[in-house]
Amino acid sequence: MNPFDFITQTLRIAVPYLFAASGGLVAERAGIVSLTLEGFMLSGAFSATLGSYYSGSAVIGVLAGAAGGLLFGLLHGIATVRFRADQVVSGIAVNLLVIGLTQVILMLLFDSSSNSPRVEGFQAGLSGFGDPLVWMGLASVPVVAFLLYRTPFGLRIQAAGEHPEAAASVGINVRFVRYVAVAISGVLAGLGGVYLALDQHQFTNNMTAGRGFIAIAAVIFGRWNPWLAGGACLLFATAETLQIQLQGVGGIPSQFIGMIPYVLTIVALAGLMGRAVAPAALGRAED
């Protein structure tokens, strides 16, 4: 593969990571732990498949996928903000709920436990860059950076994640800010799942394959900074592209090749432990 093809493939592979990491970063900067990214992505992928299948329109699929991510984002928000549930437990519960729910509905609607019928997607062309979701994914990082650092609401998000009591003392509704932040997280991560489903023109069981967890690793590796998190997503996407290219090389067991992105994730996080400083109120319910 020539360098241009390697770069374009890396950017396309990075799209779901960029969507999910951008969403997770918004929620975590507001103080909400984002272990739910895997579930948000899977719900977005499944909802997009249903929307595209029954409407015959990829655009409707995108809207349905965003709505699916939003729904489970609000569910996580209600559990953690309204009822003050443990955010890690709630995140795991949402992930398990989405995995089970998609399998059940897949069987009920399509009589299959593994995949859906083929659905409409976008005409990619230009090495995949004709797909508007690719450009949206690449734009998600600067958009989130602008939101956090250049808007009043972004400052409120940061205040809710660092000093919620101080924010409340000056009239900021911390609960509302956290609801909105986790809703944004659900929509963005859901769009990451939408890209996977429409790019493959179908939904397959557990098709996110741990991408949500790698995205949250990118947020931590990027020290909760959108630009650094975006760079981490590109790094992990490069490792995945390398993994794909090495699959045709003889003499290397396929199991070791498949481990490359996950080993890189572990090494990156292990090297950062003790140096990355999370938002001060991350995981702490607002009093």
Residue 277 lies in a domain: no
Residue 247 lies in a domain: yes
Q: What's the pLDDT score for residue 264?
A: 73
Across residues 167-180, what is the average pLDDT? 96
pLDDT at position 165 over 80: yes
Instruction: Please state the pTM of the whole predicted model.
Output: 0.93
Number of structural domains the chain divides into: 1
Q: Which amino acid type is present at position 134? A: V
Q: What's the pLDDT score for residue 166?
A: 94
pLDDT at position 248 over 70: no
Q: What's the pLDDT score for residue 133?
A: 94
pLDDT at position 251 over 70: no
Q: How far is CA 75 from the centre of its chain?
A: 16
Residue 121 lies in a domain: yes
pLDDT at position 74 over 70: yes
Residue 264 lies in a domain: yes
Query: What percentage of the chain has pLDDT greater than the value 70?
Result: 90
The CATH number assigned to the domain holding 64 equals 1.10.3470.10
**Position 113 confidence tier, pLDDT thresholds 50, 70, 90:** confident
Q: What's the pLDDT score for residue 62?
A: 97
Q: What's the pLDDT score for residue 263?
A: 77
List the structure tokens of 223: 């020290």
Across residues 267-272, what is the average pLDDT? 66
Give the CA distances from residue 156 to residues 115, 163, 181, 196, in Å, rounded to whole numbers and listed in that order: 42, 10, 10, 32
pLDDT at position 59 over 60: yes
Residue 279 lies in a domain: no
pLDDT at position 274 over 60: no
pLDDT at position 134 over 80: yes
Residue 195 lies in a domain: yes
Query: Exposure string (b/e) for 38-56, b if CB count within 10 Å is 16 or more?
Result: bbbbbbbbbbbbbbbbeee
pLDDT at position 1 over 70: no
Q: What's the pLDDT score for residue 163?
A: 94
Domain of residue 228 covers: 3-272
Neighbours of 64 (CB within 10 A): 24
Residue 18 lies in a domain: yes
Give the separation between CA 154 and CA 4, rounded to whole angstroms. 36
Most confident of the ranges 109-113, 155-159, 243-247, 276-280: 155-159
Q: What's the pLDDT score for residue 76?
A: 97
Residue 286 lies in a domain: no
